[in-house]
Amino acid sequence: MVRGILASLPEIPVQWVDRFGEDRKSETSKTLEVARFRGRFVKACPGTRFYNCCGYQILNFANQCSLGCSYCILQVYFPNSNVRLFANFDDLLQQLDDHLRTSRRKVHRIGTGEFTDSLLLDHLTRASELLVPFFAKQPSAVLELKTKTSQVDLLEKLDHRGRTIVAWSLNPPEVIDREEGTASSLEERLAAARRCQDWGYRLAFHFDPLLAYPRWKGGYAEVVDRLFSVVDPGVVAWISLGSLRFMPPLKAIIKQDHRGSTILDEEFVPGLDGKLRYFRDLRVEMYSRLKDLLLKVAPDLCIYLCMESNDVWREALGFIPAERGGLSAILDQKVLELLD
């Protein structure tokens, strides 16, 4: 993989180091750090006991992201702004294989978009060429590639056998312009989703973070309209809704590094997990409205809330996950239907 990256970037200076300095945040991240990762590539998603967790598993092949979303929590997690890629994919695939063979879970939903954007570096790493065929051979596991880019070219020719779900996080264009750095526009994301649909992939969409800005009602209604004018709801595996939430230290970073951002203009309260969130009534209103918009177009959509408590689920969606076996089981069931 490293040879491939170097070959595709012949003009870029390369420095070999024994270890990376934990430098202060640079103005713009211009260095790609490539390292061998010696830890566990596969981890459970760090949900909290206070909110319903989706039971997702994380496949972590890179830390940090250079797209520059104002609300990105990675700014707090990783003080170094360089993207660090873990290039020992042989170890990654071996660990993944061991994990899938030995785990007692019936179904695995594994995603690479927790600590970076899944497709940000795909044109350099060609990681999808390793991961998608690997998952194609798994009887009960799906890979979810979550992205805000439109870099899907490499996915076209891959034999995915329905076991890779390509997912986009969506927001209204004015939010994307103001808050999502150099991420692709809504139209570019939807065009990329359409290409994936045409190549037979299942899709997922994450309205996460939902942002309460003055025109949010109209803004999200337009996104839903645009989405289903491009994408067939029948190929959508699931749609998640999650309102903006962040660790308190992110507030100072947003103020300092994202001066054009307006996300701090709303009112926030500390949640049960210590993160700041919109006041629950507003969250309920946003979820209910989005749910109504989505179900109007496609009544059978699988919609779930990300990191919300039962009272919010009940009020916004009309049920709590435990009544249907738990959120993890609901999504596992959806995977089994997809794999049928």
Look at residue 69 and give the partner it binds from another protein, ligand SF4, none, a contact being a CB closer than 5 to 8 Å depending on partner kind: ligand SF4
Q: Which amino acid is at 24?
A: R
Nearer to ligand SF4, 278 or 313 (CB): 278
For residue 137, the 8-state DSSP code is: T
Look at residue 29 and give the partner it binds from ligand SF4, another protein, none, a contact being a CB closer than 5 to 8 Å depending on partner kind: none
Nearer to ligand SF4, 116 or 138 (CB): 116
Is there binding between residue 316 and another protein (CB under 8 A)? yes
Q: How far is CA 99 from the centre of its chain?
A: 22
Which letter, b or e, does each residue of 236-260 get, where b requires 16 or more Cβ atoms within 10 Å of its Cβ? bbbbbbbbbbbeeebeebbeeebee
Residue with tokens 């990654």: 92
Q: Candidates 66-74, 113-121, 169-177, 289-297 — which segment interacts with another protein by CB under 8 A? A: 289-297
Reference 206, options 247, 164, 181, 238; nearest CA is 238
Contact 187, 227 (CB under 8 A): no
Cβ-count burial of 93 within 10 angstroms (0-12 exposed, 13-18 middle, 19+ buried)? middle
CB of 109 to another protein, least distance (A): 15
Applying CB under 6 A, which residues contact ligand SF4? 65, 67-69, 72, 74, 116-117, 148, 183
CB of 62 to ligand SF4, least distance (A): 10
Is there binding between residue 324 and another protein (CB under 8 A)? yes
| Residue 228-267 contact track with another protein, rule CB under 8 A, x = bound | ------------------------------------xx-x
Type and span of the H or E element at 34 = strand 32-35
CB of 323 to ligand SF4, least distance (A): 32
